[in-house]
Chains A and B, each alone.
Chain A
Amino acid sequence: MIGRRAAIAALCAAVAALSSVASSAPSPAPDILVSRQLLESQQLQVGDVVSLSSDTSGANPRSFRIAGQYEPTPDPMRLGAVRLEVRMHLPDVVGLTAQSDPLDAESVDAINVVLANDDEARATVRRLMTAVPGTLAERTGNDERRAAPFVVLERFHLAIAIVTVIASSVFLLALMLMLVEERRATVGMLRLIGFRRSRILQHVLAEGVVIAITGALFGVVLSVVLEGGINRFFQWRYDTALVFVHITPGVALRSVTVAVPLGVAAIFASSWSLLRGEGISLTRR
């Protein structure tokens, strides 16, 4: 994509001056696409003929026929902005913005181009700049200024995650220690029957692994289930197609690899004191 969005932005402002014309009238009006949000807010329908102006006062309107609606590309930088937009053919943009002054026909100074193949961006930029001297072409992707807020957000998420894990580990350990009294009796009985310490340790660890894996999987399943609900709520709230939560296999795997050793460690730590000492002292009260 190239340049700024000046032209489109101007049109966004212009839709304030938009007015509907009887759709039955036969018209040579050129086709435009209207964003879903604009269509809904103005109660328009595909096939309607509308007037657009580049001026907020609605001066020098032109008629266009709504050929269809589209869902604007989600953009986290514009979260909360109502996307009242139209898409039109380039000559129509020129015609609409350059009515009074013929020089204005040259006035489109920036256009965005979407490439079918994103990998060709660099080559395309180079080709454009050599083919049309004086053109400034640049990629919009990989823009650090644009990405910076998300880097901050990501660090913030990481911090929240770390605090959550530490707090829940403390909670888990406390819970385990509360269950120690019950385990004390069980471990003591098994020791009296003749279980070796190492065997009990094996059982404890096996139990810990099963509990930890079950818990981790439960967490992953829960988050996958909630994922749909959270996305739907915020998509409704901000009227966007943005995806807010996405549990990828990588995320799930990372959660499991953190949770399982943590769970096993908690069970191990809470049982450790029980395995020391003689069976009989464990059952003594």
Chain B
Amino acid sequence: MEPLIEARSLGKVFPMGGGPVHALRDISVQIAAGEYLTIRGPSGCGKSTLLHILGCVDTPSSGTLRFDGRDVSALPDHARSDLRLRSIGFVFQRFFLLPMLTAAENVDVPQAEAGVSRADRKRRTAELLDYVGLGHRAGHRPSQLSGGEAQRVAIARALANRPRLLLADEPTGELDRANGEHIAELLDRVQADGTTVVVVTHDAALAERAGRRLVMRDGLIEREEHAR
């Protein structure tokens, strides 16, 4: 079966004043549809950079990336935007919810941009907020939510357009243990419901939940672990 993601020899160089920074050196990885993959490693080893490239937020300096069989390593900006909108969901450490919108409106935004009808959006938003256990918080703004709740809204937003791939960068980094646990359970459920999940984390407990775990160092994949 064709993998959902196929990365070959990805490299990423940031040209900086004090010489170029090699964030990624040579990364090759295949991720099957429906797989649960976690990536961990010391700070600055290139985890976020890899996630951004896998999520088509950034482009690699070298190597190729195929998404669902299609070469996306050199797509123009608008095509990458469309891919992100419809096929990829992103969750960040700091939630990145739009502060002036309510939880429901935050979940509504990507659907509206994708051209979903008002009635369908309404139904889907209610369904998603229920899915993350926040049906009763639909009218609240991010500032009125706890960190754990905000992150659950962010996950609901990421799932809004039924993406094939959910990417999460330190999703529990700002949360206490109980809330982190809650998010981890939610990510398990998302994967069980058929979405491919890739999580970058420092949190060993969270990393352990995945069937497949990458450990990075210095822009390279140092080793790969599999759950027994």
Residues of A within 8 A of B (CB): 185-186, 188-199, 278-280, 283
| Chain A, Cβ-Cβ closest to B87 | A194
Q: Judge whether B77 and A197 touch: CB under 8 Å.
A: yes
Q: Is B11's beta carbon under 8 Å from chain A?
A: no
6 more CB-based (< 8 A) A-B contacts, given A193-B109, A198-B78: A190-B109, A194-B82, A196-B77, A197-B81, A280-B52, A283-B96
Q: Judge whether B77 and A194 touch: CB under 8 Å.
A: no
Q: Judge whether A189 and B77 touch: CB under 8 Å.
A: no
Give the interface centre of A185, A188, A190, A193 by most chain B CB atoms within 10 Å: A193
Interface SS majority for chain B: helix
Chain B residue contacts of A193, Cβ below 8 A: 84-85, 90, 109-110, 113, 157
How far is B192's CA from A9's CA once the two chains are assembled, in angstroms? 102
Q: Judge whether B58 and A195 touch: CB under 8 Å.
A: no
Chain A residue contacts of B98, Cβ below 8 A: 186, 189-190
Chain A residue contacts of B109, Cβ below 8 A: 190, 193
How far is B78's CA from A194's CA once the two chains are assembled, in angstroms? 9
How far is B124's CA from A139's CA once the two chains are assembled, in angstroms? 79
How far is B77's CA from A197's CA once the two chains are assembled, in angstroms? 8
| Chain A, Cβ-Cβ closest to B94 | A283
Q: Is B116's beta carbon under 8 Å from chain A?
A: no
How far is B58's CA from A112's CA once the two chains are assembled, in angstroms? 84
Partner of A192, one of B82, B83, B86, B90: B90
Q: How far is the CB of B85 from chain A (nearest CB, A)?
A: 3
How far is B173's CA from A285's CA once the two chains are assembled, in angstroms? 16
Q: Judge whether B57 and A196 touch: CB under 8 Å.
A: no
Chain B residue contacts of A280, Cβ below 8 A: 52, 57-58
Please judge, given known A-B contacts A189-B96, A280-B52, whether A194 and B85 are in contact too, CB under 8 Å. Answer: yes
Interface residues of B in 119-165 (CB under 8 A from A): 157
Q: How far is the CB of B119 from chain A (nearest CB, A)?
A: 21
Q: Is B92's beta carbon under 8 Å from chain A?
A: yes
Please judge, given known A-B contacts A186-B98, A283-B92, whether A195 and B81 are in contact too, CB under 8 Å. Answer: yes
How far is B153's CA from A189's CA once the two chains are assembled, in angstroms? 14
How far is B84's CA from A196's CA once the two chains are assembled, in angstroms? 10
How far is B110's CA from A198's CA once the two chains are assembled, in angstroms? 16
Please judge, given known A-B contacts A197-B77, A280-B52, whether A192 and B96 are in contact too, CB under 8 Å. Answer: yes
Q: Judge whether A278 and B96 touch: CB under 8 Å.
A: no
Chain B residue contacts of A197, Cβ below 8 A: 77-78, 81
Interface residues of B in 72-121 (CB under 8 A from A): 77-78, 81-86, 88, 90, 92, 96-98, 109-110, 113-114
Chain A residue contacts of B58, Cβ below 8 A: 278, 280
What are 27 residue pairs bridging A and B, where the CB atoms are less than 8 Å apart in the complex?
A185-B96, A188-B96, A189-B96, A190-B109, A191-B81, A192-B84, A192-B92, A192-B96, A193-B84, A193-B85, A193-B90, A194-B86, A194-B113, A195-B85, A196-B77, A196-B78, A196-B81, A196-B82, A197-B77, A197-B81, A198-B78, A199-B113, A278-B57, A279-B57, A280-B52, A280-B57, A283-B96
Q: How far is the CB of B24 from chain A (nearest CB, A)?
A: 14
Chain A residue contacts of B81, Cβ below 8 A: 191, 194-197
Q: Judge whether B92 and A194 touch: CB under 8 Å.
A: no
Please judge, given known A-B contacts A186-B98, A278-B58, whether A195 and B113 are in contact too, CB under 8 Å. Answer: yes
Q: How far is the CB of A41 from chain B (nearest CB, A)?
A: 63
How far is B114's CA from A283's CA once the two chains are assembled, in angstroms? 22
Chain A residue contacts of B82, Cβ below 8 A: 194, 196
Q: Judge whether A194 and B84 touch: CB under 8 Å.
A: yes
